[in-house]
Amino acid sequence: MTHLELQRYFNIYEPLNEHTAPGIWEKANRILRDGLTTRQMILMSNVKTICSTDDPADDLRYHQKLRDAGDFPVKVLPSFRPDQALDVRNPGFAAYLQRLGQAAGVVVKDLVTLKDALASRLAFFDDMGCRVSDHAFAYVPYAEADESVVAGILNRALAGGTISRGEEEQYKTHLLQYLAALYTKYGMVMQLHIGPMRRVNADMTRKLGPDTGFDSINDLCIAEPLGQFLNSLNEQGMPKTILYCLNPKDNYVLGTMLGNFADGGMAGKMQFGSAWWFNDHIDGMVQQMTALANLGMLSQFAGMLTDSRSFTSYPRFEYFRRILCNILGTWMEEGEIAPDMERVGHIVQDICCHNIERLIAR
């Protein structure tokens, strides 16, 4: 928890250190016991919409309960994250497809039934208000293959066979193209998070399990496969897309890639996503927004995103807004942009709110 969060929700302004920590812990817990709830923290932050991260096999029961109750003014929408359906080399892949099939009411036994299951779940997510999908790429997969080849790869994986890296790329490319077409059909936004190196410390992963903090930035080259992959989507109809990179070296790759697939009929259809994960700080945000301003249209930027999965993380948006305003204010003072407060004010409002509203609108 940061100082911003302690101030915003608990009215605690003293510095957090080894001497003050016990007292801060007691005060924060006393405030929670006295009735500060998650919903109150969300409303205190003026949140309008929350998009959770959900697997296609999730039943979304709590989304349904929130919808049925109708007593919370904030929209809580699911996001479609099918990474496990794409992770064909994972030892638990076959078991996961069985669970996915159960959720969809389909026995997943081949490529046709897998696509049926994904399409069924995406339709259900759409009914529940889903407006965005999310994909995590350790590397950018692009390898074209005939559908029969991909079907054979999947059959071998379901039978417990070994799948090569090249075959994984063929499988992922085919499934991602299929999913992108569905996102276009439903008007959903496709998010691609590119560049983490997962589970670097094998010993700690064995002890604690995956996603326990032993990840870092990858430095693979992404420009050529990303361009080829996006071009393949563009050939069939590009969905609204947000690209995020974890390695700052790729800022200019993403910044220049957007223009290749810009849609004259919709401003901001291709987005360079906000500084993410290890870059979610002042230097990372300044670098990302400066690169976007140098290469594209900062005014169309969809703004900040947090994937902290913490209900106290909303002050990150305040942090982002201050950094954005400082960048624009500095550029005005230094004569790099016109000192038009009304126009720049509208740009700030668009980046912080209106652009993402337009992007996810049905």
CB 188 within 8 A of CB 132: yes
The backbone region for 241, taken as left when phi is positive above 0, alpha when psi lies in -120 to 50, beta otherwise, is beta
Rounded Cα–Cα distance for residues 73 and 49 (Å): 9
pLDDT of residue 228: 98
Predicted confidence (pLDDT) at residue 98 exceeds the cutoff of 80:
yes
Cα pseudo-dihedral 57, 61, 62, 63, rounded to 10: 80
In tens, the pLDDT along 253-265 reads 999 999 999 987 8
Position with higher pLDDT, 307 vs 356: 356
Six-digit token string for 156 = 């071998």
Segment 319-325 long-range contacts (CB within 8 Å, at least 24 positions apart)? 319/4, 319/282, 320/274, 320/285, 320/352, 321/348, 321/352, 323/282, 323/285, 323/286, 323/289, 324/285, 324/289, 324/348, 324/351, 324/352
Residues 147-206: pLDDT tens digits?
999 999 999 999 999 999 999 999 999 999 999 999 999 999 999 999 999 999 999 999
The distance from CA 118 to its chain's CA centroid, rounded to whole angstroms, is 19
Structural domains of the chain ordered from first start: 1-36 (no CATH), 52-246 (3.20.20.140)
Contact 199, 138 (CB under 8 A): no
Largest CA distance in the chain: 65
- Give yes or no for residue 307 having a pLDDT over 80: no
Residue-wise pLDDT for 238-283, tens only, equals 999 999 999 999 999 999 999 999 987 899 999 999 999 999 999 9
Angle between helices 3-10 and 21-33 (to 10 degrees): 40
pTM over 0.85: yes
pLDDT digits 0-9 by tens, 3-60: 888 999 999 999 999 999 999 999 999 999 999 999 999 999 999 999 999 999 999 9
pLDDT at 1: 62
Q: Which two tokens stand for residue 103?
A: 């959720």
Quickly tell me which residue has 């652009």 as its tokens.
Answer: 355
Contacts (Cβ under 8 Å, ≥6 apart) of 150: 111, 170, 171, 174, 175
From the centroid of its chain, how far is CA 25?
31
Of the candidates 65, 55, 67, the residue with the CA atom closest to the CA atom of residue 104 = 55
> Which tokens in the block code for residue 78?
């699911």
Distance CA 224, CA 230 (A): 10
pLDDT band at 231 (very low <50, low <70, confident <90, very high): very high
Instruction: Measure the CA–CA gap between 306 and 309, rounded to whole angstroms.
Output: 8
* Whether 153 contacts 87, CB under 8 Å: no
Rounded distance, CA 28 to CA 30, Å?
Answer: 5
Token pair of 250, please?
A: 């790729």
Q: Calculate the average pLDDT of the chain.
A: 95
The whole-number pLDDT of residue 109 equals: 97
pLDDT higher than 90, residue 213: no
DSSP state of 80: B
